[in-house]
Structure 1
Amino acid sequence: MRIGELSERTGTPRRMLRYYEEQGLLVPGRASNGYRDYAEGCVDRVLQIRGLLDSGLPTRIIKQVLPCIDDPAAIHISGATAETIATLERERDSMAHRIRCLLRSHEAIVGYLEVVRRDQLPSAGVPAVRYRRADSVTEAA
């Protein structure tokens, strides 16, 4: 299949597919006219790459992990080197840190929305607080 069809089937922009190729993550064949020719299996490969990128793995790690993926739901590494294991452990720890940061941000936004929604519902006869600054409070009339 040509790059346009792969792009359409995976929802991945053509430019991103070319980037995957530059990074060695995707290897298309070439038609006699020089156009990229992607095998059917490239659809799954692109979806795996996108999933790994979405999980926060950088392309240099994805390049190491992709050959070890037989099943998109699992990673099987046989004969992993100490370097590969150390790299994956660092990535795992980095992901855990990002998850903790995201959870804190999520909780802050939830709390902020609760305050904003509460303040937008005026009680009978009591003005609603529209916003707060460190030095003043502006109320609705």
Structure 2
Amino acid sequence: MRIGELSERTDTSRRLLRYYEEQGLILSTRSSNGYREYDPRSVDRVFQVRGLLDAGLPTRIIKQILPCLDQPRVIHFPDATPEMLGTLERERDRMTQRIECLTRNRDAVSEYLETVRLTRASA
């Protein structure tokens, strides 16, 4: 698929997709006319990258861990530095805190909706 289709399917600007490619986060090939061509699996990869960026991971760390997202038990990085491991641990803990916060907020909204619906049903 070309960059326009990938952009539409992922709701990600072409400019941002080119940046992801420049950073080595996604890959493309070039057709004979010079257009970028993306594998259909790029859609999932873009969503993974966006999710990790939203979680606060820097692109340099994302690039290192992306292969692990496909087969986390198979890949081992012998060159993983203590700094990288520390960064990943901090980011993992931060994601856990965000998940807990989102879960509390979701539960509060659900409780509110249930209360409003019960109140309306009894009125």
Residue in 1 that maps onto 2:45? 48
Q: Which amino acid aligns with 1:53?
A: R
The structure with more helix, counted as a fraction of residues? 2
Higher relative contact order (CA 8 A, sep 6+): 2
Contact 1:29 1:37 in 2 (8 A): yes
What residue in structure 1 maps to residue 33 of structure 2? 33
Normalising by structure 2, report the TM-score: 0.70
Assess, with a 3 A threshold, how the Cα gap between structure 1 residues 95 and 103 changes in structure 2: closer, same or farther: same
- TM-score computed with the length of structure 1 as normaliser: 0.63
C-alpha spacing 1:27/1:77, structure 2 compared with 1 (3 Å) = same
Question: In 2, Cα distance between the equivalents of 1:52 and 1:4?
Answer: 18
Contact 2:26 2:45 in 1 (8 A): no
Gaps of 5+ in 1: 123-127, 129-141
Q: Which residue of 1 aligns with 2:119?
A: 119
* TM-aligned CA deviation for residue 54 of structure 1: 2.9
Asked if 2 retains the 8 angstrom alpha-carbon contact of 1:2 and 1:35, the reply is: yes
Task: Compute the RMSD of aligned alpha carbons.
Answer: 2.9
Q: Secondary structure at the match of 1:47?
A: helix
Change (3 A) 1:47 1:18: same
SS at 1:85's partner residue?
Answer: helix
Match of 1:85 in 2: 85
**8 A contact 1:48–1:72 mirrored in 2:** no
- Report the CA distance between 1:117 and its aligned residue: 0.9
Identity level (%): 45
Larger radius of gyration: 1
**Cα drift, residue 28 of structure 1:** 2.6
Once the two structures are superposed, the pairs formed by residues 1-141 of structure 1 within 5 Å of their partners are 2-4=2-4, 7=6, 11-13=9-11, 15=14, 16-38=16-38, 42-54=39-51, 56=55, 58=57, 60=59, 61-66=61-66, 68-69=67-68, 72-74=70-72, 76-79=75-78, 80-122=80-122, 128=123
Q: Which runs of 5+ in 2 are unaligned?
A: none
